[in-house]
Structure 1
Amino acid sequence: MRVAFVGKGGSGKTTMSALFTRYIAARGAPVVAIDADINQHLGMVLGVEQTPTPMGAHLAEIKEYLRGDNPRISSAEAMVKTTPPGRGSRLLKISEATDPIHQRFSVTTPEGPGLMVTGPFDEDDLGVACYHSKTGAVEMYLNHLVDGPGEYVVVDMTAGAESFASGMFTRFDMTFLVAEPTRQGVGVYRQYRDYSAEFDVPIAVVGNKVQGPEDVEFLKGHVGDDLLVWFEHSRAVRALEQGRPFGLDDLEPANSAALAVLLSHLDAQQKDWEKFGRQAVEFHLRNAAAWANRAVGEDLSAQVDPAFAFGPPKPQAQPVPPPSASTDTKPPVHASVAP
């Protein structure tokens, strides 16, 4: 299952992403956390000292690997962030993370989860590039990932509604919008709700920094039934954010219970590979028509492989063996007719 944490800058989505990643790992499930925010803080909150190699700085290398021998993609240069996989493309698995992408761009955090990052702006980007060129690496990763049951990807997204600049907001099984009980906090919720409504993107609001019943009532008044759960103001989380020793056992009981609600809600979602593939193609065609055909100099609609099925391969039906000759030597039984 893939989950995105979104929200206003400063809402606490990075902290929520880290706590949720740790909570999943503590239950023994494989999980990869991805920092797709322009402010790269997820690794610090997860206790990582060695920063992973940033994916956003190695787009050409990632494209070359993922395209494999897909005949519909003429070159790595012709591959854009929305290019969907097809027959011949290389797919990624969390359970078999021995591929060059995971090996090169992931590090293991102290508590077990993998961490991948888009990377921050560097001097060459300033004034000439947008951050979408960085997050495009995450979109390509998600498009080519086949995550199985009981496997998780947690993505700390850019602040605000930046993910709507491409189709990445449709790449998740669930989106948790972290909102403080303020007018600014719920403003981003309205943007997400309105933009994603026509694409059947499931969204739940996670209240954060709640200090009393009046804060809960404020959130309920603005987001209604979309409020799934809320986190109380936490001394333990403050210690985590200040770099002091922290463990999940330090969390207040109500906040530990809130993490359980998040995981239960995520696990209750139905994996819909058909919708995932349909929307991947839809947004690729949109991007191709809007800018990518012109930028690449090709008709990128030809990259869509109509015979490719997203998701794990379906089990092949076993042929039914022909009936064998009977070795029964008993004479056949005939119905008798009364005289």
Structure 2
Amino acid sequence: MKIAFVGKGGSGKTTLSSLFIRHLAAQGRPVLAIDADINQHLGVALGLDEEEAAALPAMGAHLPLIKDYLRGTNPRIASADTMIKTTPPGEGSRLLRVDEDNPVYRACARPVDLDGHPARLMVTGPFTEADLGVACYHSKTGAVELCLNHMTDGRDEYAVVDMTAGSDSFASGMFTRFDVTFLVAEPTRKGVAVYRQYKEYARDYDIALHVVGNKVEGEDDVAFLREAVGGDLLATVGRSDWVRSTEKGNRPSFDLLEEPARQALGTLRRTADAAYARRDWGRYRQQMVHFHLRNAESWANAKTGVDLATQIDPGFTPANASPQPA
């Protein structure tokens, strides 16, 4: 299943997404962790040192390989050059599974050891000097969106994405690619303001949005969040000595994480599992097509010189795809 963590900068979304990834890995679940934030912090939150995190391969740097692999033998796609971030899969396309070996993962993913439990980590890559003043961060996150469009994931497989901060996640159709979205909010007016933006933007797209209160210090904070977000408040997390220790560069065993935080992570997992059981493949495909047509009409047809509406394969969803050789 596909899970997003969103929230304003500094809310702790990267910390909570990394805890959730560790929680899943400790239970033996296959996990693909994706850092889709240009400010790349997920690797460090998962225990890599700064040099190791900086050496992770950027997905954007391997976009031609990603496109060529995912295109497969799809006759509706004339060449990899005509693929854009919203290009949907069709008959002949290659699809990604969370727990498999393929050229995309070999080029872009790196294993991380989480207390003896493996996970894969992929990153969009940060802005480079060549990007400054000439590129938008969506040019980086496009590789993530394309992979999510071409991912067929099982009930016990988890793709966990640490999204870009604030409401910028809605600047592309990627926000509709998830079974559940966890919005991390502090008990402050600024913290809940991002929630209100998300709620408004997601209203017409049937997004499963749940709020995780972070940095909660007492019942007053819980009451503030409950009044602001109502029934969308799913769980709260308070101060953690375990988290503070890791932020100082220590590597305590995940077994030492405080019990209240463990209970919150369990609530998140059960909520994600329930959301996957309700996945509507028809709606999933409809939203994919909707955003592809919007991108095609607004800029991509002119850029590629192709009517990208012809890439849409009627009736195709990842759920009914025939396996393609890697």
Tell me the residue number matched to 1:39: 39
The answer to whether 1:103 aligns with 2:115 is: no
Tell me whether 131-140 or 242-251 shows the greater mean CA deviation.
242-251
Distance of 2:251 and 2:316 partners within structure 1: 48
Does structure 2 conserve the Cα–Cα contact (< 8 Å) formed by 1:48 and 1:110? no
Tell me the residue number matched to 1:83: 87
Tell me the residue number matched to 2:77: 73
Tell me the residue number matched to 1:236: 242
Moved over 6 A (4+): none
Which of 59, 63, 79 matches 2:63? 59
Q: How does 1:196-215 map to 2 (within 5 A)?
A: 196-215=202-221
* Change beyond 3 A, Cα 1:307–1:218: closer
SS in structure 2 at match of 1:94: coil
For residue 249 of structure 1, report the CA deviation from its aligned partner. 2.1
Tell me the residue number matched to 2:289: 281
Q: How does 1:107-122 map to 2 (within 5 A)?
A: 107-111=110-114, 112-122=118-128
Does structure 1 conserve the Cα–Cα contact (< 8 Å) formed by 2:75 and 2:92? yes
The AA in structure 2 aligned to 1:68 is G
Distance of 2:244 and 2:31 partners within structure 1: 24
The AA in structure 2 aligned to 1:302 is T
For residue 312 of structure 1, report the CA deviation from its aligned partner. 4.9
Residue ranges of structure 2 left out of the alignment (5+ in a row) = none
Distance of 2:318 and 2:151 partners within structure 1: 9
Higher relative contact order (Cα pairs below 8 Å, separated by 6+ residues): 2
For residue 311 of structure 1, report the CA deviation from its aligned partner. 1.8
For residue 313 of structure 1, report the CA deviation from its aligned partner. 4.5
TM-score calculated relative to the size of structure 1: 0.90
The AA in structure 1 aligned to 2:42 is L
SS in structure 2 at match of 1:195: helix
Distance of 1:226 and 1:110 partners within structure 2: 33
Which of 182, 188, 203 matches 1:182? 188
Q: How does 1:1-339 map to 2 (within 5 A)?
A: 1-49=1-49, 50=52, 51-96=55-100, 98-111=101-114, 112-269=118-275, 270-313=278-321
Distance of 1:78 and 1:233 partners within structure 2: 48
Distance of 2:200 and 2:243 partners within structure 1: 31
The AA in structure 2 aligned to 1:102 is Y
Higher helix share goes to which structure? 2
Percent identity between matched residues is 58
For residue 271 of structure 1, report the CA deviation from its aligned partner. 2.3
Distance of 1:166 and 1:313 partners within structure 2: 25
Distance of 2:256 and 2:178 partners within structure 1: 30
1:38-63 CA distance string (max 9 Å, x none): 11010011113533211012212211
Distance of 1:248 and 1:275 partners within structure 2: 38
TM-score calculated relative to the size of structure 2: 0.93
SS in structure 2 at match of 1:128: coil
SS in structure 1 at match of 2:113: coil
For residue 272 of structure 1, report the CA deviation from its aligned partner. 2.1
Tell me whether 44-53 or 256-265 shows the greater mean CA deviation.
44-53
> How many residues align structurally?
314
Look at both structures and tell me which one has the larger radius of gyration over its CA atoms.
Answer: 1
Distance of 2:102 and 2:62 partners within structure 1: 15
Residue ranges of structure 1 left out of the alignment (5+ in a row) = 315-339
Does structure 1 conserve the Cα–Cα contact (< 8 Å) formed by 2:62 and 2:107? no
